[in-house]
Amino acid sequence: MLFWKRKETMSRWLAGVLFLICTMALAVLLASEATPRRTYLTLSPTINGSVMTLTLDENLNYNGALTLTVVLPEWNSQWYPMLGISYLGTNEAEVFLDGEILGHIEAWDGKTLGRTFFMLPRDCTGKTVTLQTTKAAGEILPLLCITDSGITEETIKAITASSTLPAAAFGVISLLALGLFFYSLTEGNRAWPILLLGLAALSQTLYFHAQNQGGYIIPPELFGLGLNLSRSVLFAFPLFFLLLSMKKRRKLFLPFVLLPALLYFVVAGFQTVVPAFSMIGSRMGEIFYVTVAALMVCAISEYRDGNQTFHLFLPGFILSAAGVGAACLLSWLCGGKLFPYIEYIIQQVIAHRPDNALYWWSTLLLLLCFLVSTLSLFLSMAAREAQMQSLSARESMMQEQLTVMQESDESLRRMQHETVNHYTVLQKLSQAGAWGNLNQYLADLLADIETAPAMAYVTHPAINAVLTVMMARAGKLGIKAKHEVSAPEMLPFPDTELCTVLMNLLQNALDANALAPKGTEKWIQVNIHIRGAHLFIGVTNPRFGSIKYDEETGLCRSTKEDQTVHGYGLKAVQAVAHKYQSELLLEFPDGLFSASTALQMPEK
């Protein structure tokens, strides 16, 4: 059966898709908190009576008196309208409404936000706003807008949420990564790469927290240095995590991570401190494009080499990319904002401003690496638990086998010691002509011989141990055991998997015989042999109850009362069969039940 047709595989993929949908729905819900329902209206004033040409270069390089004039449009709101002015000039400015003074704006000090609001009368529609100041070359023109206190409050909440929500999300990831690291320490595993993910998330928590301060709490140069360095940490640390998770491609991928990280850290990180770096700092992120391409090549190679980390990372990346693509398509069909935002990101990349795109890429990479770390920990815990159960089962089996061998040896020694006595009794009974007693005595002797278990069934240690234990159990339960078994001393299968198959099939056969009515013959038939490139294992037993067969899984459902601890034996056998390109074949003709599989022996 192909892996994508297996029920358990399909259910895992379906669960992953549903989890992704729920995650995206939560992200959309939280994103709505960062978007005000109403927004301000940007005004387009005339400049110096339209004498000055409205080109970006001339506006920026203009030096002299500056007069902005705009007629206020209609504004429908329950709140009083407000005039908002963003002014970053070095000279004072005066604001007039229909020739009457409305307010005064101080020169920008380089530390505040440079934003001023003036209350307007309700009947301001059609009135003229005039701003008069003196502009120096290189200064940005003032920006005018009309708003109200309701929109201002919504905007403040949205701006706060746009910083607080990401800070909280990254903070949670940072704490979870730290907890994951400490938990791995308690398990004897020093998972240092997980700390890189925690530090990357922590850097973004501090980044958004600093953005929410409403002003510079330190000099602007150092403030910008901190923000840029936090982004360099986000861009580099998830890549270093993947680098440390590689096995065969680590040396190949190292220069594609180390060199771009160092260049971005130095040039883009210190561009607010070193003026010479500011000319190219905004474009330094483009060197990570080569890193992304190298990562994809190395990830595919590691996946093919069987690296467990990339067996989780690569499908997760493909699933995430498909989810983003589906969300963009849905946004495009429904007129949402995601598709235009993706277009904006693409335009930023084309315009050689890669940091925005790299931020989302690195965030996705951070989340994927964290999920991979979590899943890897769970898988290792499950594997360790399975190993412990296997060792416990093997220890129990060895103890039971030792008990059986001791009983067998004791029985043989007792029979050997009493042989002379038995011969003497037989002779006396024969001489006395007590033929009935003689026959009964012989029958008792034969029964004792049959109850002594065999010392060896096959040369393979694990298979022989299982057969010794299970055949002894059958003998104690009055079940006649038939066997045609042959297996070499060495087989290319783990002993744990062979024991899983054989013990579950035999235990099911013993349980089936336990349902036999009184006086009915109980028996099991075991067949083990090599057929070509396959190891055949089959168990047949009489059937005394109904069968609940599930056609979708190809298994029989357990008929035992406690379903929480039963019903997993055949699933375990089927899993081993699938691993070795086989199937678990269940047949139940009238009065019989047969379970068999042929495990394909791996090539050396």
The single residue listed with the structure tokens 């529609």 is: 125
The structure tokens listed for 193 are 């790469």
Residue 381, CB half-sphere, CA atoms under 13 Å: how many? 11
342 falls within a domain:
yes
pLDDT above 60: residue 412: no
> Do 346 and 229 lie in a common domain?
yes
pLDDT at 354 > cutoff 60 = yes
Q: Please enumerate in sequence order all residues whose Cβ is within 8 A of that of 200, keeping only pairs 6 or more positions apart, or say none.
A: 233, 234, 237, 238, 362, 366
pLDDT at 88 over 90: no
At 405, give phi and psi (nearest 5°): -65, -40
**Structural domain includes residue 91:** yes
Q: What is the DSSP string of 515-537?
A: TPPTT---EEEEEEEEETTEEEE
Q: What is the mean pLDDT of the chain?
A: 82
Same domain as 267, residue 141: no
Shared-domain flag, residues 77 and 189: no
Q: Which amino acid type is present at position 412? A: L
For residue 559, give the DSSP letter.
-
Does the pLDDT of residue 226 top 80, yes or no?
yes
**Does residue 140 belong to any structural domain of this protein?**
yes
Dump pLDDT digits (tens) for 230-267.
Answer: 989 999 999 999 999 998 899 999 999 999 999 999 99
pLDDT in the model for residue 387: 65
| 211: Cα separation from own chain's centroid | 30
Q: What percent of the chain has a predicted confidence (pLDDT) above 90?
A: 26
| CATH code, domain carrying 137 | 2.60.120
Residue 537 CA, distance from chain mean position: 37
Q: pLDDT at position 115, please?
A: 85
Number of domains in the chain: 4
Round to whole Å and give the CA distance between 572 and 237.
40
Interacting residues of 320 by C-beta distance below 8 A, sequence separation 6+: 20, 364, 368
Strands of 534-542's sheet in order across: 480-485, 523-531, 534-542, 592-600, 585-587
Q: Does residue 427 belong to any structural domain of this protein?
A: no
Is residue 368, in this structure, part of any structural domain at all? Answer: yes
| Cross-strand bridge partners of residue 105 | 93
Cα–Cα distance for residue pair 427/443, rounded to 1 Å: 16
Question: What per-residue confidence (pLDDT) applies to 77?
Answer: 84
Pair 220, 367 in one domain: yes
The helix/strand/coil state of 477 is coil
Helix axes 250-263, 220-245, angle to 10 degrees: 180
Length of the chain: 604
**Strand partners of residue 95:** 103, 131
Task: Name the token pair of 376.
Answer: 């890897």
- CA dist 162 and 156 (Å) reads 10
Asked whether the whole model's pTM tops 0.85, one would answer no
Which of 340, 367, 385 is the C-terminal boundary of a domain? 385
Query: Which stretch of 157-161, 511-515, 533-537 has the lowest confidence by average pLDDT?
Result: 157-161
Per-residue pLDDT at 464 exceeds 90: no
pLDDT of residue 236: 93
Domain final position from 385, 414, 432: 385
Residues 459 and 591 in one domain: yes
Q: Are strands 64-71 and 128-135 parallel, antiparallel or unpaired?
A: antiparallel
Residue 155 has pLDDT above 50, yes or no: yes
- 466 inside domain: yes
Verify that 194 and 322 share a domain, yes or no: yes
Cβ proximity of 135 and 64 under 8 Å = yes
Mean pLDDT of 511-529: 91
pLDDT at residue 313 greater than cutoff 60: yes
Write the pLDDT tens digit of every residue in 13-25: 677 677 767 777 7
Q: Which residues of 226-253 are buried (b: 16+ CB within 10 A; e: fewer)?
A: bbbbbbbbbbbbbbbbbbebbeebeeeb
pLDDT reported for residue 60: 74
Query: The domain spanning residue 554 has which CATH number?
Result: 3.30.565.10
Domain endpoint, select from 385, 414, 447: 385
CB 326 within 8 A of CB 200: no
- Say which amino acid occupies 509: A
Instruction: Return the bridge partners of 146, or none.
Output: 41, 83
pLDDT at 10: 62
Full domain range(s) for residue 556: 455-604
pLDDT at 223: 80
Same domain, yes or no, for 264 and 379?
A: yes
Residues 242 and 375 in one domain: yes
Is 424 domain-assigned? no
The whole-number average pLDDT for the span 343-362 is 89
In a domain, 412, yes or no: no
**pLDDT band, residue 421 (cuts 50/70/90):** low
DSSP states of 398-439 = HHHHHHHHHHHHHHHHHHHHHHHHHHHHHHHHHHHT-HHHHH
Distance set, CA 190 to CA 134, 185, 335 (Å): 63, 5, 48
Residue 448 has pLDDT above 90, yes or no: no
Residue 406 identity: Q
Minimum mean pLDDT range among 126-130, 153-157, 317-321, 505-509: 153-157
Same domain, 589 and 479: yes
Same domain? For 174 and 113 the reply is: no
- Say which residues have a Cβ less than 8 Å from residue 71's Cβ, sequence separation at least 6: 126, 127, 128, 129
More confident residue, 278 or 194: 194
CA angle 548, 549, 555 (to 5 degrees): 120
pLDDT class of 563 with cuts at 50, 70, 90: very low
For residues 54 and 99, membership in a common domain is answered with yes
Q: How many other CB atoms are found less than 10 A from the CB of residue 322?
A: 12
Q: Does the pLDDT value for residue 1 go beyond 50? A: no
Q: What is the pLDDT of residues 24-54, one digit of tens each?
A: 777 777 777 777 777 888 898 888 877 555 5
Exposed / middle / buried, residue 127 (Cβ in 10 Å: 0-12, 13-18, 19+): middle
Rounded to the nearest angstrom, the gap between the alpha carbon of residue 374 and the centroid of all alpha carbons in its chain is 7
Say what the pLDDT of residue 118 is.
Answer: 93
Tens digits of per-residue pLDDT, 165-201?
Answer: 888 889 989 999 998 888 888 877 778 889 999 999 9
Residues 112 and 172 in one domain: no
pLDDT at residue 541, rounded to an integer = 92
Question: Which residue is it, tokens 């690496």?
Answer: 369
Give the pLDDT confidence of 582-594 residue by residue, as tens digits: 988 988 888 899 9
